[in-house]
Every structure is written in structure tokens, then in C-alpha cells.
Amino acid sequence: MKKLIDDLLKLQTLQTAAAKDAKPSPQIAALRAEIPLPILAHFDRLVARGKKGIAVIRRQVCSACHVQVPRNVELTLMHGGDIQLCENCGCYLALPETAPVELPKLTPKARRKRAFAVAAA
């Protein structure tokens, strides 16, 4: 499912770029061939109405309609179980790409100071 969502995101960005140019891209045709027909039909219907076909969830909010998305929808996307639609606008939902967060290495002495400061507060 992750690959399908990524393909939809790529398709949307390529189509918006191709709308500015009059020349169709062969990448668009290749991506459209990989996406299942019912999903592609729903995506095209949204785009024909002037909406986004796929929206990113940021802070539990759909970036297309700005309505809060239920937590279970976000968790389903995190686990890659199924494609999800926004209950309000009907856009396909995707999670933003996040870089792994690296925590600083603490020495044993710094850990003790930190633990003491938290306990004293």
C-alpha cells in the first residue's frame, strides 16, 4: 500500500507540473498504468472537480480540507494496512515523509544530572 500511495503522490506532482507545460510526460502514463483502475477513477474524479487527489496528514489534519482526521485512520496509514480516504473531502490520505530523529548521546554523568534535575522539579 505504501508504494501505491507514493505513486499517487508522484502522479499528482507530475500532473500539476504538466498542467503548466503543454507537453504530456511519459512518466505520467507509466504511473497511471501501475495504479488500479478504481483508485485511479476516484483520483481523476477529484482532480476533475479542481480538488487535490491525495492529501498529506499534518498534525492529524487533512491538508486539503483542514478537518481533523481520526487517529485510527492515521494509525492504519502508519501500519500500511489499507488506503484511507478523508471523511470530509474524499481525498486519499498520505503521511508525510519523516526523517529519523537522532537523540544526543549522554554520558553517565550527564544522565545523573538530568535525572536529578527532573526529580528535583
Question: SS3 for 90-110, per residue?
Answer: CCEEECCCCCCCCCCCCCHHH
**The pLDDT value given to residue 90:** 94
pLDDT at 19: 74
pLDDT in tens, 19-56: 777 666 788 889 999 999 999 999 999 999 999 999 99
- Domain extents in the chain: 2-120
* pLDDT per residue as tens digits for the range 76-107: 988 887 899 999 999 999 998 765 556 566 66
Nearest-angstrom CA–CA distance, 111 and 105: 10
Taking 70 as the threshold, does the pLDDT of residue 118 lie above it?
no
The answer to whether residues 92 and 5 touch, using CB atoms and an 8 Å cutoff, is yes
Which has more confidence, 77 or 114?
Answer: 77
The per-residue pLDDT for 70 is: 94
Q: In which region does residue 12 sit, left (phi positive, over 0), alpha (psi from -120 to 50) or beta (all else)?
A: alpha
Length in residues, the chain? 121
CA atoms within 13 A on the CB side of 78: 10
Q: What is the pLDDT of residues 51-71, one digit of tens each?
A: 999 999 999 999 999 999 999
